[in-house]
Amino acid sequence: MMNRSQAQKQLQGKSVEAGGTLHRLCVRQSVPVTIYLDGSPIEARTGDSLLAAVMSAAARLRINEFDGSPRGGFCAMGACQDCWIWVEGRQRVRACTTLVEEGMRLSTTATVMGC
Amino acid sequence: MTDQNNTPVVIVGAGPAGIGAAAVLVAAGLRPILLDEGRAPGGQGYRKSDPALGLNLAYAQEPEYKAIHALFERLRDKIDYRPETLAWSVDAGSVFTAFRGSVASEGIPFGRLILATGATDKVAPVPGWTLPGVYSLGGAQVLLKDQGCAIGQDVVFYGSSPLLYLAAWQYLEAGALKVTVLDTTPFSAKMKASAAIASVPKLLRQGLGLIARLRMRGITMRHGVTDMAIHGDGRVEGISYSWKGRRETRACDGVAIGHGLRSEIQLAELAGCGLAYNALFDQWQPVVDADGRGGSGVYLAGDGTRIGGAVAAELAGRIAASACLADLGHAVDAAEVAELKRRRDAHWRAQDGLARAFAWPRKGFAELPDATVLCRCENVTAGQVRGIAKTMTGIPDINRVKALSRCGMGRCQSRMCGLAAIEVAAAARGEAPANLTHYRAQPPIKPVAIPTSSQEVA
Ligand SMILES: Cc1cc2nc3c(=O)[nH]c(=O)nc-3n(C[C@H](O)[C@H](O)[C@H](O)COP(=O)(O)OP(=O)(O)OC[C@H]3O[C@@H](n4cnc5c(N)ncnc54)[C@H](O)[C@@H]3O)c2cc1C
Ligand code: FES
């Protein structure tokens, strides 16, 4: 088992973490998986929500349809609906209540998907 | 017509209220169906942290927390528990569900229905609250407990709620680097309310202990903060606010906002329950009798009916299930129910005190800058809502403001902006908020997908 300070140290070495707004305090001891956000890989662990995986690596989850401003979810409990994200080849999913799956390809903008 | 005595009792919500209700039904020999949207039982506050995270938070050592989870484990085999199942409508004696977002082809007929849907954050929007890095107070807790994430490395807990202090402490416990607490209610209001909070002495003790611990850790806590704004280019970079007559600014990279809780009332409304405005909690809630009866065959318990905390929720769940049993013709121990009510009522009195100590910043809504986004879904501003509210003639119903401004018309169905929109519109008209009535619920109460077409409806 990795303790918290070891986990923090390990994460601080990853440049992708610097871009996220979420700050991981501990890493889940489960299988590592890779997902892709707009083509860039993000390291996650099974059991991570898409919201946590994306927002600990990036500063946005989606773009607001009306003013183009970045959004990063809000309630994390399936109430605000501000975290819907496109999964390639699938419908939109709610990032805070959907768990990561190996190889998942996400897009922050619908236009990339041709939708 | 379904035979009410042979059709199962359906409970919606596996928080303390739903679990308490299930326990009473199981003890009487019934096997209720327990529907819950979450992946695991426990509800919002008693959410279990994933053991794989290795987080060791003190709340999980509380006797009440342990008791609820132990109770659920004893019940698990004796009930029909269906996690990840959203109840998205109630109609003609059936509950309509969706598993992992996909609609089930048939409804579940119920003999009796117990709604224990709990609450979500009650939020007073501020400029900048749509920036990435701003989360609801409950969201900040969920991200910690479920995901082991802090919402930043320098986090401001803003609003007014006992959970503000609790969440700040939980963040420190888990190793978050820096926290600040900005409370919109002046300290004097807290002093005045302490006698009522002491209806449950442990609650007052815990609260004071929490504040003392935060103070000992050198945490900045401000009471009576106004005119809050969150700043940043594409993400949170800082905040500014007024306090004791001066303007303060502060750098930070995460903000949690919460002004207490708002009941999840949509299913109750669809099930035909009446709603009434609760002036102490500034929101519409289902009308129930002292045992939680809310309409024909419908019972309600927990934060979804009246904000009372986890202990009151479990007691209310037991009381509602007892009423349900009595109505089904079972023998119920009246003295036992009376004792449950006595304890529940003490918690309610304490929560009423908390509602005064941590008040909804009503005055702030009139002063909210016009450009502030109220409706996160449809990007409708306070100014737009004011403009429409002012010129509206006839009955000033919030549903008309919604139709004309699109505020509250989006996918969250006004969960995040509804209470604030009512305040902004009421202030613009010089009207009492209750006069604007409530946002009407519409099925599906949350977005669901129809599996055959993969078409999402909201
Ligand atoms: C985010 C949050 C954090 C909290 N943190 C704390 C804390 O740290 N300590 C503390 O003492 N108290 C805390 N509280 C308060 C305390 O948790 C509540 O008072 C208590 O949980 C109320 O219990 P309940 O059973 O009424 O509702 P809840 O515990 O909220 O349970 C309701 C359940 O119903 C489910 N549900 C709702 N609608 C549907 C639907 N349509 N279909 C299917 N399922 C549905 C929800 O997913 C949830 O699991 C918190 C509350 C919230 C909202
Ligand atoms: S963050 Fe609110 S629904 Fe996902």
What ipTM was reported for this prediction? 0.95
Which of the 8 DSSP states describes residue A43? E
Residue-averaged pLDDT of chain B: 95
Contact A4 B44 (CB under 8 A): no
What pLDDT shows up at residue B435? 96
Q: Using CB atoms, which residue from B132, B136, B376 is nearest to A21?
A: B132
| H-run or E-run covering B315 | helix B309-327
From residue B454, alpha-carbon distances to B63, B103, B393 in Å are 44, 10, 42
Residue A115 banded pLDDT, cuts 50, 70, 90: very low
pLDDT tens, B382-404?
999 999 999 998 888 999 999 99
Task: Give me the residue label for tokens 């070891």.
Answer: A6
Tell me, yes or no, if the two domains B9-120+262-354 and B134-259 fold the same way: yes
Bond from prior residue into B444 cis (ω within 30 degrees of 0): yes
* pTM of the shown model: 0.94
Alpha-carbon gap: B3 to the closest alpha carbon of chain A (Å): 35
pLDDT at B458 over 80: no
CATH architecture of B134-259: 3-Layer(bba) Sandwich (3.50)
Domains contained in chain A, CATH given: 4-107 (3.10.20.440)
Which of the 8 DSSP states describes residue B94? E
What pLDDT shows up at residue A109? 78
pLDDT tens, A36-72?
999 999 999 999 999 999 999 999 999 998 989 999 9
Beta-carbon-side half-sphere exposure of residue A42 (alpha carbons within 13 Å): 31
For residue B320, give both structure tokens. 């509602």
What pLDDT shows up at residue A112? 41
Cβ neighbours of B138 in A, within 8 Å: 75-77
B228 touches B126 (CB < 8 A): yes
Distance B373 CA to ligand 1 centre (A): 27
Residue B118 in contact with ligand 1 by CB distance below 6 A: yes
CATH architecture of B362-436: Orthogonal Bundle (1.10)
Domain residues of chain B, as ranges? Answer: 9-120+262-354, 134-259, 362-436
Residue A94 in contact with ligand 2 by CB distance below 6 A: yes
Contact B44 A77 (CB under 8 A): yes
Q: Which atom of ligand 1 is nearest to the CA of B121?
A: 53
Distance A107 CA to ligand 1 centre (A): 31
User: Which CATH superfamily includes the segment(s) B9-120+262-354?
Assistant: FAD/NAD(P)-binding domain (3.50.50.60)
